[in-house]
């Protein structure tokens, strides 16, 4: 009878008695020390401060150090679009031409302050960054 060769060895379960092969006093963690007692985070470098990761990173200087770095979308109200002619498309280029948005803007958010009486087709990158 030819049995197939076993290539996958079962993983040993630790801490389940002396008969398991990984049980008893230390359960495969060695003797004493920090690694034997608890789990240590992979980025932990001890209590040294001189060459720690925090000391090696550069400072973020200025007033904006606590602000988020995400680019905020430019807000355009419906009030400013109410005077546009009927059935025209609202694109980023046309908003720049009219002076509602600064050149180089990547995202526009249209907010509902005001009322639209004409039908407009919106083709602007809204609420997301490109």
What pLDDT digit, counting tens, does each position of 87-110 carry? 678 888 888 888 888 888 888 888
β-pair partners for 109: 75
Residues in the chain: 130
Confidence band for 130, pLDDT divided at 50, 70 and 90? very low
Rounded Cα distance, 126 and 18, in Å: 63
pLDDT at 62: 84
> 103-122 burial string, b = 16+ CB within 10 Å, else e?
eebebbebeeeeeeeeebee
- Kindly state the greatest CA–CA separation across the chain: 89
More confident residue, 17 or 128: 17
More confident residue, 5 or 48: 5
Name the token pair of 110.
């249209």
pLDDT mean across residues, the chain = 82
Range 111-126 average pLDDT: 79
Domain ranges of the chain: 74-123
The answer to whether the pTM exceeds 0.85 is no
């Amino acid at each position: 009878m030819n049995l197939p060769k076993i290539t996958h060895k079962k993983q040993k379960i630790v801490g389940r008695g002396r008969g398991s092969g990984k049980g008893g006093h230390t359960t495969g963690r060695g003797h004493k020390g920090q690694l034997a007692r608890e789990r240590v985070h992979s980025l932990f470098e001890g209590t040294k401060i001189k060459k720690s990761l925090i000391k090696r990173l550069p400072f973020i200087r200025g007033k904006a150090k606590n602000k988020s770095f995400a680019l905020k979308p430019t807000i355009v109200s419906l009030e400013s679009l109410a005077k546009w002619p009927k059935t025209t498309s609202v694109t980023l280029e046309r908003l720049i031409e009219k002076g509602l948005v600064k050149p180089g803007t990547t995202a526009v958010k249209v907010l509902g302050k005001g009322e639209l009486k004409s039908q407009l087709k919106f083709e602007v990158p809204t609420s997301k960054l490109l």
